Structure 1
Amino acid sequence: MPKTVVPSSSCCHLKINNSASMNSARKCRKCDEPISGNVPPDGIVVRCESCRWLNIFLAPDSDGKLRFGEYEVIQEVGQGANAVVCKATKSDDDNIRAVKIFFAELSVNSHAYSEFTRETEFSVGVVHNNICRTYSGGEIEGNRYLELEFIDGINLAQYLEYYDAMDPMDAFTVATHVAIALDFVWSDFLAIHRDIKPQNVMVDKAGYVKVLDFGLVTAHERSAVDISAVEGTPFYLSPESVTQDAYQDNRSDIYSLGCTLYHLIANEPPFCYDELLDVINARIKEPAPDVRKVKPDIPETVANVLLTMMAREPEDRYVTARECLDDLQRVIRGEAPLLIDPSRPKVNV
């Protein structure tokens, strides 16, 4: 597999709270406010009521090592909206893994757990060079978790924080690998990612690209996102994903990849408004923004591919990730993209 030319760096490593010494006076790592409640033997992930930060508390074993079930936890390496990710090893295996431990409140709904189990079983069977591997999942003392491939690198959000904007050809090179992954899950499983964004694309130290958090939602299973449950501003969600009962297929992922590419190249996301509803309304009502308004020196070929990926109507985008991939590669080779034929028959894939 060809490598990208993206520089990489190790993630910042976060400290895990030792619950044995902090059970009586635990504090949030971020804002230092007290956190109430007891810690079960296998630990827990709790959200700080003051700053909303997720804190993981683990009890040390007799040898002083922090454990979560059969995993020896080395360090926390990051967190998302509802889970903490730790670097760990298993008791019977020296291989480094990533263990994603979910916020405890997510474990109380039996229907949600059934869905979690189904999606985990599905994810385990999806093996591809550009997709972070899922090895297993389950629940320990009420804490849901996933055992994942450990990727030593940075995600694209971290890249933007460290290096600012990415060269357009480097960004397109990264996007080709994401498009390959999207084409694979759509072609082989009729599934979509549904949350492509800079945080969910990693580049490891060797320059290889991996897509994270493949929930693998099959087409027709879900419609609109519950906006009340969205954490932060949905800069990368497609218009149909925030529209009630709208049909979604891999063109939604293509839109989100286009938004991610726009952010990498412009160093700001499209529809960059302060208020959530302003972002949602612009996404639904306004045409895709031209990146050249932010970066006038961007080549027309790059801008046109982004405009096609981020077209407001799904039928005006690339039909498949493969079609999108072909144009990304044409631009990288210095050729003109084919884009789409506006007179072609409307397709519902």
Structure 2
Amino acid sequence: MIGHEIGGRYQILERIGGGGMALVYKAQDLLLNRHVAVKVLRQQFVNDEEFIRRFRREAQSAASLSHPNVVSIYDVGEEGDVHYIVMEYVEGQNLNEIIKERAPLQVDEAVRIAAQICDALDHAHHNQIIHRDIKPHNILIGRNGRVKVTDFGIARAVTSATITQTGSVVGSVHYFSPEHAKGVTAGEKSDLYSLGIVLYQMLTGKLPFLGESPISVALKHLQEDFEEPRRVNPMIPQSVENIIFKSMRKNPGERYSSAKEMLLDLETCLLPERRTEPKLEFGLEDEESTRIIPAIKPQQMAAVPGRRSRDYESAPASAEPSKDKEPVAKKPSRKPFIWAAIVLAIILILGGMAWYFKSQLEVPDVKVPNLIGLTQDEAKVKLTELGLAVGNVKQAYNKDYDPDVVYEQSKPEGTEVKEGALIDLTVSIEKPLEKMIDLSGLTLDEAKQQLVQLGVKDTAISSTEEYSDSVEEGKIISQEPASGSDFDPDSASVHLTVSKGQELVKMPDLTGLDEQSAKSKLDDLGLTMVTKEESSFTVEKGKVIEQWPYESGESVEPGAEVTLTFSTGYPEDAVNYSYGVPVAPAESDKNSKIRIVFSDARGDNQEWGTKTINTEQTLSVDLVLAPNKDATVSVYRDGQLFNTYAVSYIDAKQGTVPTPELPAAAEPQESVDPQPSESNGDETGNDVTGMAGNDSSSTSSSGNSLVSVKSNGNGNGNNGNNGNHKGKTK
């Protein structure tokens, strides 16, 4: 059935209960967009025409009931071989579950529940509907504490052909009235007997009659007395125990005359003056109980007055009186005295009745006052002053009246009634609060839809967003009011906190950091580090070359993986070479500022630094060369380009790098560009050949294998002056 649609409008959602005759499902009314309960007749009864006819008729009768304590019947129908009843869906528990969880209940709670059940029965009985199956399973308690009685009239649908199949009779045997157990037609007082058992069970946590079989339980209803409730639970007031005694009399004539009478008793039983009232006693033995009658002996039969002589004709001869004995004197008859007493009693009774009726006929008339708008106490005082009394007080919410204010009276103002008459009142109470539903895990739109269905105004619903590590983005994290708390949908403001998902973090720049520092930063942000290695000319060994896939400043979800590439240092084919550069001041013994810029495998235009000199000397420049990258060294003196030297990878690897020497003129070049050219100096127009007399100082300071220096562009190449300066190695 789940997932099916019946009647063209009821979408079955889930099964919520069932009994011997029917299964109950929670459904969505697609037309009115509300939840309903759908009771579906079990398949084994769909071919019993008499059962179906009575089932439908009784369901339609129950639909005529309209009372706040009765589950409303919305629809009755059939679809194929599916016979169903659509009724009000009550979100809460049934009374049987509550009794199992926490019986015995508090006295005031049990009395309140019983009073609401009794009020529902009073309404049903006035509409000529007998429930016949009052038990905790058929009493629903909503989240707001309101009692709802269900399954009105359904028990009457049980026929002789199905009574043993359904199991409903056996299932309810603990709540049978004695007349029900005997098969006698059950009436209004049978419902009151069952209600007395429900009250007994709520207050004691146990059933009054238990047995090994349904038959034994039914016999106990007929024959045995139950254990007094106060012996089981001493906290029960005597006034409440008296209600149980009276409602559970085996003789229907000794029970309450109506549900209204029992309701009045329930509404007043907890008043201080009634709690300690005397225990209710019944003078005569209940005529429904089983009696043990002793067998009648023949001697006793012979002594019965007025027995005819033929009754003794069969008696044996030995039983005849002896003629020899003298006759016994006859005792005077008491009959005249008995008859006189009876006549006197009748006269007294008739006289008393005459006096009573006369006094009743002479009761003065009183006009009913207007009680609307008065408090309950004020109305009681006003009625008392006129010789009237408050009857049944019904409490119900009315938005137009403050709590404890009368807004309805059973007799209109100005109606003439006899002095001492009872006036029923309906008094307003505080607005019943709803229970806030649990919205966690829903989207904002879903939560708003459910709140609007509950009666909350759309404008009273607000929301904010927060990051959450545990709740999916877009779902409700928390709510105010909290789930399960009491609130008024008409006036409450509901605030929802919606998840923005996990909070994003900004990716830091990790390039150039060592592994420990990089990992520490990632751990602080909740990120996971993945490492790889790669050689590099530009990044020191053990430092981060690259981060992937997130660049610095990008937003990253916590827990994401970040791959870091760490440098393993220079590649294996790289060559480290310390190059000696000869420098000299512009004028001897005068200071000149020397600046060196070099390019190698690590990058172009790298600053070596500056140095002030006043004598000729050789400065060492550490170079790194690669198969695809030679090196150049540019020397600036006093801000002007002085000379440029080239160092090839092959020469450095083979140890054949030429020894650099100062130019012959040792004069600075004209260029003042602070950035060295990428060429080897061919465009400067200056000769870079060595100068006589400088060979010794140049080679001694370098300490490296040197070869001839390339030409700067004059065409002289490595020949120097007349080719005298050859490469030397020390």
TM band (smaller chain): 0.7 to 0.9
Deviations 1:305-336 (Å, cap 9, x if unpaired)? 11111111111111101111111111132342
Paired letter, 1:133: S
Aligned residues of 2:61 and 2:129 also touching (Cα < 8 A): no
Q: Which has the higher helix share?
A: 1
Give runs of aligned pairs for residues 121-160 of structure 1, distance below 5 A.
Answer: 121-160=60-99
Q: CA deviation at 1:204?
A: 0.3
Deviations 1:263-283 (Å, cap 9, x if unpaired)? 111111111223212211100
Inter-partner Cα distance in structure 2 for 1:217 and 1:79: 14
How many percent identity over aligned positions?
29
Inter-partner Cα distance in structure 2 for 1:104 and 1:288: 39
276, 282, 286: which one aligns with 2:214: 276
Change beyond 3 A, Cα 1:93–1:82:
same
Give runs of aligned pairs for residues 223-262 of structure 1, distance below 5 A.
Answer: 229=167, 230-232=169-171, 234-244=173-183, 246-262=184-200
Inter-partner Cα distance in structure 2 for 1:323 and 1:176: 11
Inter-partner Cα distance in structure 2 for 1:227 and 1:318: 31
Aligned residues of 1:305 and 1:339 also touching (Cα < 8 A): no
Inter-partner Cα distance in structure 2 for 1:284 and 1:155: 28
Aligned to 1:194, the other structure's residue is in SS state coil
Aligned residues of 2:7 and 2:78 also touching (Cα < 8 A): no
Change beyond 3 A, Cα 1:216–1:101:
closer
Aligned to 1:235, the other structure's residue is in SS state helix
Corresponding position: 1:102 with 2:41: yes
Q: Please, which runs of 5 or more residues in structure 1 have no aligned partner? A: 1-56, 59-64, 344-349
Aligned to 1:308: 246
Aligned residues of 1:289 and 1:307 also touching (Cα < 8 A): no
Inter-partner Cα distance in structure 2 for 1:247 and 1:340: 28
Change beyond 3 A, Cα 1:191–1:66:
closer
TM-score, structure 2 normalization: 0.36
Aligned residues of 2:200 and 2:207 also touching (Cα < 8 A): yes
Inter-partner Cα distance in structure 1 for 2:142 and 2:180: 30
Aligned residues of 1:318 and 1:339 also touching (Cα < 8 A): no
272-281 vs 153-162, greater mean Cα deviation:
272-281
Q: Which has the higher strand share?
A: 2
Change beyond 3 A, Cα 1:106–1:204:
same
Corresponding position: 1:165 with 2:104: yes
Q: CA deviation at 1:255?
A: 0.3
Change beyond 3 A, Cα 1:217–1:322:
farther
Aligned to 1:331: 269
Aligned to 1:207: 145
Aligned to 1:191, the other structure's residue is in SS state coil
Aligned residues of 1:311 and 1:317 also touching (Cα < 8 A): yes
Change beyond 3 A, Cα 1:111–1:302:
same
Change beyond 3 A, Cα 1:141–1:264:
same
Give runs of aligned pairs for residues 52-201 of structure 1, distance below 5 A.
Answer: 57-58=1-2, 65-70=3-8, 71-187=10-126, 189-201=127-139
Aligned residues of 1:287 and 1:312 also touching (Cα < 8 A): no
Paired letter, 1:207: G
Deviations 1:18-42 (Å, cap 9, x if unpaired)? xxxxxxxxxxxxxxxxxxxxxxxxx
Change beyond 3 A, Cα 1:233–1:180:
closer
Higher relative contact order (CA 8 A, sep 6+): 1
Deviations 1:112-170 (Å, cap 9, x if unpaired)? 11112211221222111110000111222212110000001111001012223211221
Aligned residues of 1:288 and 1:310 also touching (Cα < 8 A): no
Aligned residues of 1:122 and 1:216 also touching (Cα < 8 A): no
Paired letter, 2:192: I
Paired letter, 1:312: K
Change beyond 3 A, Cα 1:238–1:114:
same
Change beyond 3 A, Cα 1:167–1:227:
farther
Aligned to 2:336: none
Change beyond 3 A, Cα 1:217–1:105:
closer
Inter-partner Cα distance in structure 1 for 2:220 and 2:16: 34
Change beyond 3 A, Cα 1:127–1:193:
same
Aligned to 2:231: 293
Q: CA deviation at 1:339?
A: 9.5
TM-score, structure 1 normalization: 0.73
* Coordinate RMSD, CA, aligned: 2.8
Inter-partner Cα distance in structure 1 for 2:134 and 2:172: 14
Deviations 1:218-251 (Å, cap 9, x if unpaired)? 9xx999x95775243511110101113x243211
Paired letter, 1:254: L
Aligned residues of 2:7 and 2:77 also touching (Cα < 8 A): no
Inter-partner Cα distance in structure 2 for 1:342 and 1:296: 22
Inter-partner Cα distance in structure 2 for 1:305 and 1:339: 10
Change beyond 3 A, Cα 1:185–1:133:
same
Inter-partner Cα distance in structure 1 for 2:124 and 2:159: 16
Inter-partner Cα distance in structure 2 for 1:183 and 1:143: 33
Q: How many pairs does the alignment contain?
A: 278
